[in-house]
Amino acid sequence: MQLKSYKHIVILFSFTLATVAAYLLFLRSPYFDQFSNWAQHNFVLFFVILVVIKIAGIVWPPINGGLLTLGSIPVIGWWQAYLADSVGSIIGSTYAYYIAKRWGLSFMRKIFDEETITQVQKVKIKQGKEFEAVFLARLFGGSIVEVVCYGAGLLNVRFSRYLPASILSHAVIGVPFYLFAGDIIAGRNFIINGTFAVILVLLFMFARHRYVEITS
């Protein structure tokens, strides 16, 4: 994800680091058990809060909703945390798609820099390959998932192809990532996770030109 200026990038990066640092300190504080008990006794409210934050993170990328849902794993478990992330991602992706269709470049320029806008405009999805193109873009998008969501609306990708591809790609990445999140964060199972990442990258390099063209 590229934001509108380097200042915004620095702010986003600093906010993310500060959030991670604060979270690690919080895990080791005596207040964590109290918060965990509150969240478990108020699960529905806590779950809704996570979903709303995730939606906001898709619609307005400087908000890192995924970081907070990931951080909720020690509190509510990986499956519930993934479900909150998934529900928020689906709703947020839908909002972003229709925002781009309704307001187009005028809204996107408030979030992304001109280079990103130009690259999106150059993309041409091959006819009949919308599902595959969105699936691969979401699967390997990483931090530019929001660009894919807005770009799909701007490029008039059919929603009937866009939404299923978004849901499937989120599950393919999200389920194993949340399942092994503890090991990933702690640096365990490096060989397994590293091999999985290499396979995904090689698959993307092989398949991406079959579904997407970049026009000059």
Q: Residue 140 domain-assigned?
A: yes
The pLDDT tens digits of the residues spanning 123-134 come to: 777 777 888 888
CB of 177 within 8 A of CB of 168? no
The pLDDT tens digits of the residues spanning 8-30 come to: 455 556 666 676 677 778 777 88
Could you tell me the residue range of the domain that residue 179 belongs to? Answer: 6-214
Q: Which residues of 87-108 are buried (b: 16+ CB within 10 A; e: fewer)?
A: bbbbbbbbbbbebbbeeeeebb
Which residue, 76, 50, 44, is CA-closest to 65? 50
* Residue 145 neighbours by CB under 8 Å, 6+ apart: 1, 58, 138
Largest CA distance in the chain: 57
Q: Residue 174 domain-assigned?
A: yes
Q: Quick check: 3 pLDDT over 50?
A: no
Q: Residue 121 domain-assigned?
A: yes
CB of 27 within 8 A of CB of 135? no
More confident call, 6 vs 126: 126
Distance CA 32, CA 74 (A): 10
Which pTM does this prediction carry? 0.74
Highest-confidence segment of 2-6, 72-76, 186-190, 212-216: 72-76
Highest-confidence segment of 15-19, 55-59, 182-186: 55-59
Give the chain's mean pLDDT. 77
The pLDDT tens digits of the residues spanning 64-121 come to: 778 788 888 888 888 899 999 999 999 999 999 999 999 988 888 888 877 778 878 7
More confident call, 19 vs 198: 19
Number of independent structural domains in the chain: 1
Looking at residue 1, what is its pLDDT? 43
Provide the residue type at 44 as one letter: V
Q: Residue 1 domain-assigned?
A: no
Residue 3 DSSP label? B
Token couple for 58: 């898709």
CB of 164 within 8 A of CB of 131? yes
Tokens 């939404």, located at residue: 163
Which residue, 140, 163, 155, 162, is CA-closest to 215? 155
CB-side exposure of 211: number of CA atoms within 13 Å? 17
